[in-house]
Amino acid sequence: MLMTHSSNDPAGFHDRAVLITGGTSGMGLATARLLLESGAHVVITGRDDARLGRAARELDGVSDHGARLSAVRADSADLADLDRLADLVRERHGRLDGVFANAGTGVFQRSGEVAEQDFDRSVDVNFKGVFFTVQKALPLLDAAGGGSIVINASWTLHRGPAVAPVYAATKAAVHNLARTLGSDLAGRGIRVNSVSPGYIVTEMFHAANPDPASHEAIRSQVPLGRLGRAEDVAETVAFLLSPRSSYITAQDIAVDGGLVTAVPAS
Ligand SMILES: NC(=O)c1ccc[n+]([C@@H]2O[C@H](COP(=O)([O-])OP(=O)(O)OC[C@H]3O[C@@H](n4cnc5c(N)ncnc54)[C@H](OP(=O)(O)O)[C@@H]3O)[C@@H](O)[C@H]2O)c1
């Protein structure tokens, strides 16, 4: 069923089914909250039962539209997990109207320090995981008559930080994937876009920037003068998943306070 909007369902999410990989914290969790509030049934994933349980408790009761949340343990780098996830979504909802391929990981080291296993893990989660999340969701999107896919890329695909040689390359890869998949899937009524968040304060931000003393220097690079919130990205993802963006495909939206294209006024 193609998503449409009406006056009592302005975002067009009522009774729709959306998969969010990596929904236990950060942008995935914020997006899950927003979509549940808008009436969508949401499936979130993560690798750890305790973190999934905590997210489910946090999201409990946020929907007054009877929308359902499912929290499913699935490692995006594990194709058997992705098959199991697709089966579960099929059983529970019979279709998918939207997918936010958000799960990501980062090892923030200079090129000389990157170990093979960290290289492989980054590529397996951030690139291979995104590709196969989409591939395995396709029959479910077809069952809905089409839908919208959003891939979480990063500002690092535009500017290459010294400590993110592998991470940034995986994000450039999935940015390109949104374009090729946009071409491939348009005929099936499936739109594919990416978002490129800037510095968003989440667990990953703290892992990449452990020294709080560095945060002011980071903030000063952002023309809008503040670090990003997970909710800033969730709003953009919700727009791209909704029928309000029905003529937008194969695009990237930077949600970065101007980080990659503007210069802070002195
Ligand atoms: N924060 C930033 O400044 C920033 C900027 C640009 C782009 N991004 C991207 O934004 C996305 C979300 O990150 P975040 O900043 O919101 O950080 P976060 O709070 O650390 O969230 C990461 C999420 O991904 C999940 N995840 C990690 N590896 C996974 C795997 N193999 N399988 C399934 N789920 C997995 C985590 O779940 P569990 O740990 O519970 O498994 C968690 O839910 C990532 O793709 C990241 O690269 C972040």
Asked which of 42-51, 55-64, 232-241 is least confident by mean pLDDT, the reply is 55-64
Q: What is the mean pLDDT of residues 131-145?
A: 98
- pLDDT value at 5 more than 80: no
Contact 56, 29 (CB under 8 A): no
Atom of ligand 1 nearest to the CA of 29: 43
* Res 2 pLDDT > 80: no
Q: Which residue's alpha carbon is at the smallest distance from atom 8 of ligand 1?
A: 154
The pLDDT value given to residue 55: 98
Ligand 1, atom nearest to 44 Cα: 43
Q: What is the pLDDT of residue 11?
A: 78
Cβ of 133 less than 6 Å from ligand 1: no
CA distance 258 to 221: 9
Instruction: Please report the pLDDT score of residue 204 as a whole number.
Output: 97
Mutate which of 19, 20, 21, 24 for ligand 1 pocket (most atoms within 8 A of beta carbon): 24
Distance of alpha carbon 42 from alpha carbon 67, whole angstroms: 8
CA distance 37 to 32: 9
Residue found by looking up tokens 């549940």 in the block: 36
CA 21, CA 62: separation in Å to the nearest integer?
19
- So which residues are the catalytic ones? 167
| pLDDT higher than threshold 60 for residue 228 | yes
Residues 264/222, Cβ–Cβ less than 8 Å: yes
Ligand 1 atom 36: the closest Cα is on which residue? 22
Could you read off the pLDDT of 63-80 as tens digits, one per residue?
877 889 999 999 999 999
Given this model, what pLDDT does residue 7 score? 59
Q: Answer whether residue 191 shows pLDDT above 60.
A: yes
* CB-side neighbour CA atoms (13 Å) of 71: 22
Residue found under tokens 């946090």: 58
Residue 1: what pLDDT?
Answer: 46
Mutate which of 204, 236, 255 for ligand 1? The one with the most ligand atoms within 8 Å of its CB, which is: 204
Mean pLDDT of 26-36: 98
pTM of the predicted model over 0.95? yes
Ligand 1 mean position, distance from CA 27 (Å): 8
CB atoms within 10 A of CB 263: 9
Residues of the chain with pLDDT > 70, as a percent, come to 97
